Structure 1
Amino acid sequence: MFTVGAGAGAGWAFALGTALLGAALSPAAEALIARLLPRLGGTPVPSARITTAALTGVACGAFALRFGVSWTLPAFLFLAILGVQLARIDFSLHLLPNPLVLALLAGGIALLLAPSTVNQHADNMLRALLGMVILFAGYLILGLISPGAIGMGDVKLAAPVGLYLGYLGWTHLLYGGLLGFILNGVVTIAVVAQKSRKDATEVAHGPSMLGSVLAISLLIP
């Protein structure tokens, strides 16, 4: 993470460059997903693509400020790029495709192994794997108890979300898991307030889960 002082300007410049890189990689990710998963309906409309690229850029820039030039950053940039795509798909289709969730999980494990190996912080990786299991198990229990509120896609997404939150720390895992439900509750209230009870639709939970990782990584050192 960049500190205030002489390096602050370089830190913001690095974050801006990383944000632009993330925004540029967003259309490439969309094209690849459309090619590999044509059942999703191809690439989204231009307005959605612009919004997705902007969100990806913001997330990448925020992670660059948080982690700086480090072995950890590539893992979180991967989360930003693929996570925003998953949020977009879940928001529009209420679907979290298994291949993309699995790719986020496998890619996250592989990329998080790098800092653990180089810096010999094996405890971070062990905590990440435990976080993956804990959050997945928690969502699975909730999904079985209340299948109408938690879908199996959300249960599967809990594994990579728990992986990243667990890597950051136990506090991050606890508050990140809770924040996902809080964000979803706020969004649900906003949607219901704008629609009648008859017209109200189910609110996708995936975007709130993914957004909690970004928020917690920035709010908790």
Structure 2
Amino acid sequence: MNLPLVVSAAGFGALAGALLPGAVHRMAVEPEQPWRDVCPNGHALRGLLPKCGRCSAWYGPDARLAAAVTALVCGLLALASGARPETVVWLLLAPFAVLLAAVDLRVRRLPDVLTLPMAAGTAALLGVAALMPHGGGSWVRALLGAGALASFYFAMFLISPRGMGFGDVKLALTLGLVLGWYGWDTVLAGAFAGFLLGATAGLALIVLRRANRGTAIPFGPFMLAGALLGVLLAAS
């Protein structure tokens, strides 16, 4: 285990995660609504910290929880991937993945301003990683994985638009790149894990009588969690 790398990655995740609540507060709005630009008390937002400079009100999710989750994800990725060029890509993606999950949990929405640049940025960064020594995957296969996984989710969207949002299709581009980097088995494992986690959570909500069969639940967090599991297994 490369302890300095893991500790540094976790520290990076903690710092990045502490800044996420402000972005969640801005982006967790209903479709067609503009991003929030005021705190809960109506003061204009300024800066990156999730705290109003005028009334000192905190907004968004708990910064400590966001920091802890992002630190854990980054630490696990560094532990599994080690000192490889793609590890840098995973660490840069992690805060955006946590941000997407938090927004989706709040308003069942995956904003294009995050999903589309994530896909383009991941493709470009993995292309660079593929040119560097000691890379652990294939850039061409990553591109094919993105196309395959997004096509599968698009077919699911056409079959059941109420059960699968188009934001999930766009997110699948990034997840297909990440999983495809390691291989087709990883693509299948990550996708299956996402569906398994989503189905388990849905069943649990029904058993607890907090949802029924017709209740829509955000699927993005489960897609991201499944992809994380796939990467951790493949990288290690």
* TM-score bracket for the superposition, by shorter chain length: 0.7 to 0.9
Give the counterpart of 2:14 among 12, 23, 48: 23
Q: Say yes or no: does 1:190 pair with 2:169.
A: no
Aligned residues: 212
Distance 1:133 1:141 in 2: 12
Distance 1:183 1:17, change over 3 A: same
Change in CA separation of 1:111 and 1:29 when aligned onto 2, cut-off 3 Å:
farther
Match of 2:114 in 1: 100
Which moved further from structure 2: 115-124 or 20-29? 115-124
For 2:3, the equivalent position in structure 1 comes to: 12
The yes-or-no answer on 1:156 pairing with 2:170 is yes
What SS is found at the alignment partner of 1:62?
helix
- Equivalent residues of 1:78, 1:108 under 8 A apart: no
> How far apart, in 2, do the equivalents of 1:106 and 1:34 lie?
25
Rounded to whole Å, the distance in 2 between the matches of 1:53 and 1:181 is: 26
The root-mean-square deviation of aligned C-alpha atoms, in Å, is 2.6
Structure 1 unaligned runs (5+)?
A: 1-7
Given candidates 59, 64, 67, the residue that maps to 2:73 is 59
Q: In 2, distance between residues paired with 1:13 and 1:121?
A: 20
- Cα distance in 2 for partners of 1:54, 1:122 equals 28
Report what 1:138 is aligned to: 152
Superposed displacement of residue 61, structure 1: 0.2
Structure 2: which 5+ runs fail to align?
Answer: 38-49, 51-57
Match of 2:55 in 1: none
CA separation in 2, counterparts of 1:68 and 1:123? 13
Q: TM-score, normalised by structure 1?
A: 0.85
Q: Secondary structure at the match of 1:101?
A: helix
Larger deviation, residues 144-153 vs 39-48: 39-48
Q: How much has 1:19 moved relative to structure 2?
A: 0.7
C-alpha distance in 1 between matches for 2:155 and 2:135: 31
String of CA shifts for 1:98-125, please: whole Å, max 9, x gaps.
Answer: 0100121122112211221123979700
1:145 partner letter: I
Distance of aligned partners of 1:184 and 1:123 in 2 relative to their CA distance in 1, 3 Å threshold? closer
**Deviation by residue 1:75-120 (Cα, 9 ceiling, x = unmatched):** 1012211001000000111000001001211221122112211239
The CA distance in 1 between the partners of 2:68 and 2:85, in whole Å, is: 24
More helix by share: 1
User: Which moved further from structure 2: 66-75 or 142-151?
Assistant: 66-75
Report Cα offsets for 1:183-208 as digits up to 9, x if no partner.
Answer: 10011111222225569842110001
Deviation at 1:14, TM superposition (A): 2.3
